[in-house]
Amino acid sequence: MNGEGIGFGKAILFNEHFVVYGVPAIVSAIGKYTVAKAQSFEEPRLHLIDNRNATPRYKEDKKDQQKDSVRRIIEKMDLNFSDEGVEVELAGTLYAASGIGASAASCVAMARALSECFQLDLTDEEINQIAYEGEKGYHGTPSGIDNTASTFGGLIWFEKKEDPVMDRIDIMNPVEIVMGNTGKVADTTAAVAGVRNRKESQSDKYAEIFKRAENIAYLAKQAFIDEDLHEIGKLMNENHKLLQQIEVSSKELDFLVRLAKDYGAYGAKLTGGGLGGNMIALTPGRKLQDEVANAIEKEGFQTLKTSIGVKRQGGL
């Protein structure tokens, strides 16, 4: 009774928050992932060991959300531990922090490990649905974008609808990025609720911002098809301004975005829930990637050097 599974980390390149309301978003898996390993356990329950490297306080602050998430995954998979329990260990190369898809990666990895452990032979689509249920424990009403990227990999165009739209955007080669970690653990549920409240109270202002966000998504999709990295960077900068306007950025995020651009990044923006967590800088080529990462690290912040457009075998 053993099983193992992985879930990619992710970077939302365009339209976090806007995606909750049906505005198209573009998300990419990154080259870091969480691994879950499942094996028999003497007590009739699921015993979780979280050995992921993480931002200080991340795992502690997310403990209750993680318990709810695991409960939802067990219920969705209809698992029964009356005879024998299972121990699941989380590890891997993905640093657990806000804005990097850490919760989705853990949900996907766990669902895959449990599927193998119990010989359920679930499809990627079924794994994705289970991970979406698990994400509810962390985010309340998730968009579904994180678990989709974590499950399938690659670069994905995503629209949240009753039947979500998920289209692969093919690029020839992965592109180097730098992610800068503010060190602040963000409460995505609170960020999403704040946007909803302000959207209701400032409907005209927000309607205009959301329309611009939608336009940026279509321009960015075309830029990826054209492999126009300078245009993608410019659109990332514009997207960050819109995220500032809906009040989900922070002084640390804004500082890191400015710093990355000062050192030559093609574009930079917050990524994920905002109010802390991570930002992302487009830095094609190892030389530029190193220069931007070094500048951020000199200011005392952690970085992650990875790539977008990383594909999984099979998938969409």
CATH class of the domain defined by 175-308: alpha beta
Where in the chain are the domains?
2-168, 175-308
**CATH code for the domain defined by 2-168:** 3.30.230.10
Which residue of the set 146, 170, 228, 290 is catalytic? 146
pLDDT score for 312? 67
Distance CA 173, CA 36 (A): 28
Distance CA 71, CA 294 (A): 41
pLDDT score for 98? 79
Active site residue 121: no
Which residue pairs, CB below 8 angstroms and at least 24 apart, start in 253-257?
Answer: 253/182, 253/277, 253/279, 255/299, 256/180, 256/182, 256/296, 256/299, 256/301, 257/281
pLDDT score for 313? 55
**Those residues with Cβ within 8 angstroms of residue 53's Cβ, 6 or more apart along the chain or in another chain:** 95, 96
2-168 and 175-308 agree in CATH topology:
no
pLDDT score for 83? 82
Task: For residue 264, give both structure tokens.
Answer: 């030559």
| Whether pTM exceeds 0.75 | yes
- Block means of pLDDT (10 residues each) for the chain, length 316 residues? 94 94 95 96 95 92 96 96 92 89 96 97 96 94 88 92 88 93 86 95 97 98 96 98 98 98 98 92 98 98 92 54
Distance CA 120, CA 99 (A): 31
Query: Rounded to the nearest 5°, which phi and psi values hold at 109?
Result: -60, -45
User: Which stretches of the chain are assigned E, i.e. beta strand?
Assistant: 2-14, 25-41, 46-50, 85-92, 155-159, 165-168, 175-181, 267-271, 278-282, 302-308
